[in-house]
Structure 1
Amino acid sequence: MDEKVKYQIEFPIHSSPQLLYQYISTPSGLSEWFADNVNSRGEKFIFIWDGSEENAKMLRKKSGELIKFKWEESDDNTFFEMKIVVDEITKDVSLIVTDFADEDEVEEAKMLWENQVSDLKQVLGSA
């Protein structure tokens, strides 16, 4: 299997960190923009797109700040993380996404995140 490449993208978001956190860390919030539907049982999250399910385990959660998942079918050290960062001076809020993709698919993966986060911004009214 090819080695996955880690990448990060930063998205400025006009929202309070508390509200943004609800949308990245709860099944109902994630269902609004990330997947068609999301269910969870404890640390296990089930993401549903067009009738197909992907299972992920929540690896880490820091209230109001970050959430980190690992797809259950990936047997490597990959994960995806959404972290909220607030600039101390300007108070600008950013969402930093860390994810992995095959080397030749990084641009595609970034575009997918850009589309997803664009939906998130619309839901938040910050588009």
Structure 2
Amino acid sequence: MEDKVRYEMEFPIHASPSLLYQYIATPSGLSEWFADNVNSRGEMFTFIWDDSEEKAKLVSKRTGERVKFKWIDEEGNDSDYFFELKILEDEITKDVSILVVDFAEEDEIEESKLLWENQISDLKQVLGST
């Protein structure tokens, strides 16, 4: 399997960091925009889309600031890949944005970025932030 490449995307969001955090760090929040359904047992999260299911471990979080999930492979081992959602707030303007850090194979980066754009668009719709 080809190594995946790390990429980052930043999206402005009109919402308070504390509200936004609820949508990126909780199963109920994530299931409103990120996946069809999200279940968790402790630090293990299961993301369900249509007929596919992916497992990830919540490896770090800082309340109101960020969450980082590491993907679990088919054998139940940690993979080398993760996705991270960071809430950024400009200290002067108080503008809020979300930084997405993810990995994709070189030839799938554009497709992955489009997927994130759609996901974040769904998040903005849920938040009432256009």
Same-fold call, TM cutoff 0.5: yes
Which segments of structure 1 move beyond 3 Å, counting only runs of 4 or more? none
For 1:96 and 1:8, locate their aligned partners in 2 and report how far apart those are by CA, in whole Å. Answer: 7
Among candidates 99, 102, 105, match of residue 99 of structure 1: 102
- RMSD after superposition: 1.1
How far, CA to CA, are the matches of 1:16 and 1:95 in structure 2?
Answer: 11
- What TM-score comes out, normalization by structure 1 length? 0.96
Cα 1:122–1:18 shift into 2, 3 Å: same
Match of 1:69 in 2: 69
Letter in 2 for 1:111: L
What stretches of structure 2 of length at least 5 have no aligned partner? none
By how many angstroms is 1:52 displaced?
Answer: 2.2
User: Which stretch shows the higher mean deviation, 107-116 or 72-81?
Assistant: 72-81
The alpha-carbon deviation at position 103 of structure 1 amounts to 0.5
Which of 114, 117, 123 is matched with 2:117 structurally? 114
Q: Flag structure 1 segments of 5+ consecutive residues without an equivalent.
A: none
Residue 29 of structure 1 is matched in structure 2 by 29
- The amino acid of 2:110's aligned partner reads E
C-alpha distance in 1 between matches for 2:86 and 2:38: 19
How many corresponding residue pairs? Answer: 127
* TM-superposed deviation, 1:57: 0.5
- Identity, in percent, stands at 71
1:117–1:23 distance in 2 versus 1, CA, 3 Å? same
